Structure 1
């Protein structure tokens, strides 16, 4: 790999941007393709498959054999709220390969005793996310039921394009949330991305079941996320 390509790849990694390195096995040029970069024709289709699977693959394009090496940022889950659902989700997420961070300014809930071994930040989301911004490889789950804590994080997740945004609450609760998010500048299209009530509909009743339904929905959203690779 040429030094210029390697430098661009390292820059993409630091910025948590996905990339595919397409190597022509017949000795042609090596091409670095960033996720979101328009790629026309059959190559665009093959690159989209590679981004979605996250696995290296061979591809035949226009009579050429290409090796597509995929570099994805580690997907992560940010949970707003140190509640019982969060405790269960913290145990389940690593099994599916997701790093998880919990943010909650309520120090009575955000304790090491309740979240042993979990990355837990007892501070306001607006302060935390300023230093540790969300991105397209982050799933956000807001589960406090408190607009003062949830709303900023939800708005920010929609603004930056998190691949999944979910919020706990009834339809009535969500209708009020929609109005608040509009006042914060979010569009109807952005707000329509919120999974509310959170999680796949498996008739979940307990915190553990809600956590399972949420994780399943996160995985589904990640594998079905929109990719711009054709144009």
Structure 2
């Protein structure tokens, strides 16, 4: 089971189908108590039992896969409920004490969603367009939706039930743009990837932003304003500047303030940030706009090492994303 990205299950299902397998999707539709995965979490299952994703952190995946294999043969959708096991520690159940409901759907088969619907979702995600799918659990009718249909759910990034209709929100994947190939970035980029972000490193200095220092990372050896324009900053993108160099940080922050980036952070002391504010004011930004920048960057957890500072940045990004 691969869990490097738990949010790309539509693409995983399409990959299975394109390889000639039959495939099903399992989605958490309701939770109670301390369920380990949120509503909307998904599992992709192919007809030989291979699966990716997670609906319970490992508690009930085996049982869900077995149900999905049956659904692939019958073509029926099914709603499953799992709760804590009182009698046997290793029986199907959630050791954490929660309860979940899981919707199992054979893709392109019987009552399940069409392959075309899953393709449309994957295409929208690739184009960074918010998309969702609503399923009526009484008659299995479905429709694709956008923010105009369920604005609050898209804004909060929360799937959920409304009467008999379940809505899965598929916002564009999260991204993190880091300006400055410094020690903190060496810790921050892999942390971001674990948290589900696609990280990008921007630094025109080839000796700093090299594959030898950042193996396997996506690096843009360009000036930050040009790189940010190329990438585009939207409401699912965070921007963090780490260089302390106004020639690099200020153009990137200016581009960020003109965008819908959900988080903008800048490394530096309070004194450095005051100078930065003055530079941005000279560029025409007002106090309200500049207040979007978290500076000094990160939650105040007493971080001292590069890794601890990276952790504080990830914590503040998560807080901003989930509690805004």
- TM-score range with shorter-chain normalisation? 0.7 to 0.9
Of 288, 299, 302, the match for 1:200:
299
**Mean Cα deviation higher: 12-21 or 75-84:** 12-21
Question: How many residues are aligned here?
Answer: 212
Choose the corresponding residue for 1:135, options 234, 241, 248: 234
Tell me whether 1:58 sits opposite 2:161 in the alignment.
yes
Instruction: Name the CA distance, whole Å, in 2 between partners of 1:112 and 1:28.
Output: 49
1:185 to 1:2, Cα distance in 2 relative to 1, 3 A: farther
Residues 61-210 of structure 1: matches in 2 within 5 Å? 65-210=164-309
CA 144–70 in structure 1, closer or farther in 2 if over 3 Å, else same: same
Change (3 A) 1:113 1:11: closer
CA contact (8 A) 1:18 1:73 kept: yes
CA contact (8 A) 2:238 2:263 kept: yes
Extract unaligned runs of 5+ from structure 1: 226-231
Aligned pairs for 1:17-32 (under 5 A) are 17-27=129-139, 30=142, 32=144
Cα deviation, residue 18, structure 1: 2.1
Report if the CA contact (8 A) 1:52-1:224 is conserved.
no
Question: Which stretch of structure 1 is more off in the superposition, 11-20 or 216-225?
Answer: 11-20
Distance 2:123 2:214 in 1: 34
2:258 match: secondary structure: helix
- Rounded to whole Å, the distance in 2 between the matches of 1:7 and 1:118 is 28
Distance 1:118 1:11 in 2: 24
Q: Determine the C-alpha separation between the residues in 1 that align with 2:287 and 2:124.
A: 31
Change (3 A) 1:10 1:97: closer
Q: CA RMSD in A?
A: 2.7
TM-score (structure 2 length as normaliser): 0.58
In the other structure, the counterpart of 2:322 is: 223
SS in structure 1 at match of 2:199 = strand
> Which residue is 1:229 aligned to?
none
**1:188–1:33 Cα change, 3 Å:** farther
Q: Tell me the equivalent position of 1:228.
A: none
Shift of 1:29: 7.3
- The answer to which of 108-117 and 80-89 deviates more is 108-117
Query: Residues 160, 31 of structure 1: CA spacing in aligned structure 2 closer, same or farther, 3 A cutoff?
Result: farther
> Could you say which structure has the greater relative contact order, defined with CA pairs below 8 angstroms and 6 or more residues apart?
1
Query: Is the partner of 2:210 in helix, strand or coil?
Result: coil
Distance in 1 separating the partners of 2:116 and 2:218: 36
The SS at the match of 1:160 is coil
Larger radius of gyration: 2
* Residues 103, 125 of structure 1: 8 Å contact kept: yes
* Distance in 1 between residues matched to 2:239 and 2:258, nearest whole Å: 12
Determine which structure has the larger helix proportion and give its number.
1
